[in-house]
Amino acid sequence: MISVFANPSELEKQAKEKYAIPPFLMMENAARKMADFIISRLSSFRDSSVLIICGKGNNGGDGYALARLLQGTLNVSIICIEAPSAKEAAVQYEMCRRLGIKIHSLEKAKKLCKELSQEDFLIDCIYGTGFHGELSSEIKELINTMNESQAKKLACDIPSALEFCADYTITMGSHKLQLFSDKAKNVCGEIIIASLGISNDKFQNPYNEVSDISETQQSATDIYLIEASDIKLPLRKKRAAHKGTYGHTSVLCGDKAGAAILSATSAMLFGSGLTSIIDYFSENQQSEDNTDSDIFCVPLSQFKISPSLMISDSIPKKTTCISAGSGFSQYSKTAAKQIINWFDNYDSQAVVLDAGMLTSAETPEFLFRLNKFQNARILLTPHLGELATLLKNVIAKNPEAAKQFSINENDFSVSELSNSPDKKILAGKFLTTLYPFTTIIMKSANTFIAVRDSSNKYKIYIITDGTQSLAKGGSGDILAGMTAALLAQGYNAKDSAITAAEYHALLSQKIGTEAYNLSPEKLLAELELNM
């Protein structure tokens, strides 16, 4: 896994202070990385053009330095949005001017962007990570023109205002949290880390001695980007084993029985030794104490079900993990009661909660009761709409806790959660503080996993490998089943969440990033083939 930093400018400042690295040298190294990358991607040096759009700050300074390094190798032109205001940028500008590199005003930018071909490069060096606020209409219009260009597009550090649509983003020194919003996923393209003249380890950990770490740094959230190598597949390495060795997953069936079947099937395929579907909504289960008797359920008998799956009207005694919520259109008091009763009678409690079990005004109290069980493994798998509803209900029930976090019921809209990684981090921190034995998989274009470790340290893990083809009903049910299977086999909540979410994402890549015909059945087929 790779460290991700929420405050990259502070990181750069600390590295400069610790290692006496002049800012000018960092700018040179950033430009050199971009120059090497561009040259490696162009098939014909003599005929290819590079147009660099420079802002007034150090992001623009990187662009001027890049132009100087490419002069004589490629046809280089610069668009100067406005005169450099940063010291290093001004020096780089003056060198370019004296070297005779073509520097054009903003007025000529549109014409030059439109003249670029597919063999050329268009470089965005307008705004870096320090940009805040709204783009002017003039710059917005320019970026729209840049986006329409046929050239290969590269962003320096981060696409300007997350409006420039890059094919590649070369970011300086470290992965930055701003690169992992859902909006950023649309525009960053391939993300590449550029060394700034020292090893990444030294740059990212300038104060690695205990005496050097400030109180603020100690309390900061650890954030990590998950790679394929981080997963821990449930491979069966013990030769002497039986089905009970690998746990028993019980999937509670709600009013949409197909979702429970998908979830249970994925649990079975992801290593669960035994898998049961608990059909408590069946006709013979309706009774006076069944508080969900008004929920209409299509009978399981209407579906084709694998003979490997067992069907029961109650949770089997040897269950090692319960999954509830897949296919629940609303919160089920009956399901909640069964889960709590099972928690009361089992020593190593594990549960996955999804969909309707997360969106009721009763959910906060239900989670509170589950978290009374020491070391319970409770895993929530909401998409952002469900997460927003969950947060609203939890804040309403816990106003004093919300006050300590300076949040209110209206602070977490779907749009804010999608476009602000900081909001996801705050949401997870709030929920895991109230519910310390709960891990949350926040499903989105970039999925965030919120965890508290055994020492109560709050951590975030980011999954970026999921594709847009996963935007299909049933995909989340399969993830819930995979997660439950790992918990059933004895995984802790963190490893279960990371392995299931990352592997689920990788399966979608096998079907196709832009595939419109991904189906839950295809995901299950890939899961079966790739184990």
Q: Are 168 and 154 in contact (CB under 8 A)?
A: yes
Q: Is 404 buried (19+), middle (13-18) or exposed (0-12) by CB count in 10 A?
A: exposed
Measured CA to CA, the distance from residue 342 to residue 316 in angstroms comes to 9
- Look at residue 46 in the predicted model and tell me its pLDDT: 63
Measured CA to CA, the distance from residue 122 to residue 149 in angstroms comes to 8
Residues with Cβ within 8 Å of residue 167, at least 6 apart in sequence? 152, 153, 154, 189, 190
pLDDT tens figures, 13-23: 777 777 777 77
> CA nearest 426: which of 235, 177, 232?
177
45 confidence band (pLDDT: 50, 70, 90): low
> CA nearest 466: which of 502, 414, 417, 510?
502
Measured CA to CA, the distance from residue 27 to residue 66 in angstroms comes to 9
- Look at residue 311 in the predicted model and tell me its pLDDT: 83
- Look at residue 346 in the predicted model and tell me its pLDDT: 87
Report the SS3 class of residue 56: coil
Measured CA to CA, the distance from residue 205 to residue 216 in angstroms comes to 15
> Taking the CB of residue 341, how many other CB atoms lie within 10 A of it?
12
Measured CA to CA, the distance from residue 38 to residue 15 in angstroms comes to 27
**Residue linked to tokens 């608990």:** 278
Range with lowest mean pLDDT among 211-220, 472-481, 487-496? 211-220
Sheet holding 310-312, edge to edge: 175-176, 2-5, 222-225, 458-463, 447-452, 438-442, 377-380, 350-353, 321-324, 248-252, 274-278, 310-312
Beta pairing partners, 463: 447
The stretch 177-189 carries a mean pLDDT of: 92
pLDDT at 241 over 90: no
pLDDT higher for 238 or 103?
103
- Look at residue 447 in the predicted model and tell me its pLDDT: 96
395 confidence band (pLDDT: 50, 70, 90): very high
The stretch 118-137 carries a mean pLDDT of: 87
Range with lowest mean pLDDT among 193-202, 348-357, 521-530? 193-202
The CA-atom distances, in angstroms, between 71 and each of 22, 41, 287, 293, 351 are 24, 17, 81, 75, 61
Range with lowest mean pLDDT among 147-156, 306-315, 482-491? 306-315
pLDDT tens figures, 262-295: 999 999 999 999 999 988 654 434 444 455 654 5
Measured CA to CA, the distance from residue 123 to residue 61 in angstroms comes to 13
Report the SS3 class of residue 308: coil
> CA nearest 378: which of 393, 368, 389, 392?
368
485 confidence band (pLDDT: 50, 70, 90): very high
DSSP per residue over 192-247, as a string? EEEP-SS-HHHHH-S--SGGG--HHHHTSPEEEE--GGG--------SS--GGGG-
- Look at residue 302 in the predicted model and tell me its pLDDT: 64
Q: Are 160 and 175 in contact (CB under 8 A)?
A: no
- Look at residue 207 in the predicted model and tell me its pLDDT: 52
pLDDT at 126 over 90: yes
pLDDT higher for 469 or 443?
443
* Secondary structure element (H or E) that encloses residue 176, with its range: strand 175-176
Range with lowest mean pLDDT among 287-301, 330-344, 360-374, 465-479? 287-301
- Look at residue 108 in the predicted model and tell me its pLDDT: 86
Task: Please write down the HEC assignment for all residues of 460-520.
Answer: EEEECCCCHHHCCCCHHHHHHHHHHHHHHCCCCHHHHHHHHHHHHHHHHHHHCCCCCCCCH
pLDDT tens figures, 345-361: 888 899 999 999 999 99
pLDDT at 95 over 80: yes
- Look at residue 17 in the predicted model and tell me its pLDDT: 77
Q: What are phi and psi of 408, to 5 degrees?
A: -135, 180
pLDDT tens figures, 406-445: 998 888 999 999 999 999 999 999 999 999 999 999 999 9
Residues with Cβ within 8 Å of residue 280, at least 6 apart in sequence? 252, 253, 290, 313, 314, 334, 335, 338
pLDDT higher for 192 or 214?
192
Which runs of E-coded beta strand occur in 393-457?
A: 438-442, 447-452
Find the length of the chain: 531
- Look at residue 6 in the predicted model and tell me its pLDDT: 81
Measured CA to CA, the distance from residue 388 to residue 313 in angstroms comes to 33
- Look at residue 181 in the predicted model and tell me its pLDDT: 92
Q: What are phi and psi of 334, to 5 degrees?
A: -65, -45
Q: Is 493 buried (19+), middle (13-18) or exposed (0-12) by CB count in 10 A?
A: buried
The stretch 173-184 carries a mean pLDDT of: 89
pLDDT tens figures, 207-223: 554 334 343 343 457 99
> Mean pLDDT of all residues in the chain?
86
pLDDT at 199 over 80: no
The stretch 240-268 carries a mean pLDDT of: 88
pLDDT at 389 over 80: yes
297 confidence band (pLDDT: 50, 70, 90): low
Measured CA to CA, the distance from residue 270 to residue 177 in angstroms comes to 31
Range with lowest mean pLDDT among 16-25, 286-295, 478-487, 503-512? 286-295
Report the SS3 class of residue 154: strand
Sheet holding 152-156, edge to edge: 102-105, 75-80, 49-54, 121-125, 152-156, 168-172, 190-194
> Taking the CB of residue 379, how many other CB atoms lie within 10 A of it?
28
pLDDT at 51 over 80: yes
133 confidence band (pLDDT: 50, 70, 90): confident
What is the percent of the chain with per-residue pLDDT over 70, rounded to a whole number? 91
Cα 169 to chain centroid, rounded: 17
